[in-house]
Structure 1
Amino acid sequence: MTNASGLGGRRPAALSPGLVAPVVAILRAAVRPVTAVATFTLGVAGIAGLLAGDLRTPLVAACHLVLVVGISLVAHESAHILLLRSPRDRRVAGVVHGSWTQVWVECPQLSRRWAIAVATAGPVMGALSCYALTFTGLRTPICWAVAVVHLANLLPFVGDGKVVLVNCLSALIRQPRRSATDAEGA
């Protein structure tokens, strides 16, 4: 038996209300940094175009950059949020914050492995979204440059990289070590 939707009595799956609000929060928080990138990039491109006598080329490249940054930023932060969903009640445990220069997700205390997974997911998804955008006709060097910036977030002196480093080091430091006599007795 089928209903009007043709799904055989099943209702189409709706987005989880626990996921919609954080994604909307990410979109809202991303407006300011993307606006800042757009203002700076389009300003520099406009000046460069005026000096070179060709406005079209640098302005198109600047628009491509803004699109890639905006889409990959949302993908980056959404990956963090998706991994912060509680498996039991499917609520999101993270809170999204934003400024004129960045967007970040604040989360509760996590286990070391989970914190590393959550921190790594954002840069990897941001880079993968840049790779996917190369197939849409956007300028490939721009996509690759933004992908490198996302992967640079895994460096130990940047937010996501700090989380990975601290959790890896704490796992090594807190790991009980066996003494030489314990090793001989085993």
Structure 2
Amino acid sequence: MTHNTAVQAVAGAEGPTSSMMQHAPMNTMIAVCSAALQSLYKQTITIGTILLIYHLAINPVDIFNPIGLAGVFLLSWFTGVAIGMVFLALTPWHPPLVNMLLMVYRRVNMLASGKMFVANTLPSFMLVIFDWNPLFHCVDQARGVMFINYSPMHSNLSYPLKVALVAVVLGLMGEFFTRKRASMSWGATR
């Protein structure tokens, strides 16, 4: 949820044709950062509340590596922010197509994230179907730091980090290119 919420929040941030961008200190990076931090804040509060209620009402929660779990949580958020930036940079050029691609990405990502199955139990011909997804690696690594009896064998943390860094660079380049060529009439279609 953290990844998909971050993708949606950043992709829906104010773009270069927004009326808010007419105010001098405001720019798209401020809008992106505020949308990203807002999604992180909401997800952190939600997770904390759910864990606290479960811990107090049902059963004490024991996390094998809480610092590692927080790191994987932040990595999944960061990959969502990075991919959302790519969608944000593309939105002014063709909003209906980008909105449809965003919806398709988010829905495919829910199925291909690995939440519904354990990666260590999948045969190798099935692993290649999900290995492209950085969230698949984050979910599998989160299982490894959450549970003492699970060791992720088919995922790593370097792949989602590399994908996120490449997506951030592409998103920043696309946003800069779009900002320099944006027309006020583009905002009428949004």
Using structure 1 for the length normalisation, give the TM-score: 0.36
1 or 2, which has the higher helix percentage?
2
1 or 2, which has the higher strand percentage?
1
Structure number with higher relative contact order (C-alpha < 8 Å, ≥ 6 residues apart): 2
- Rg: which structure is higher? 1
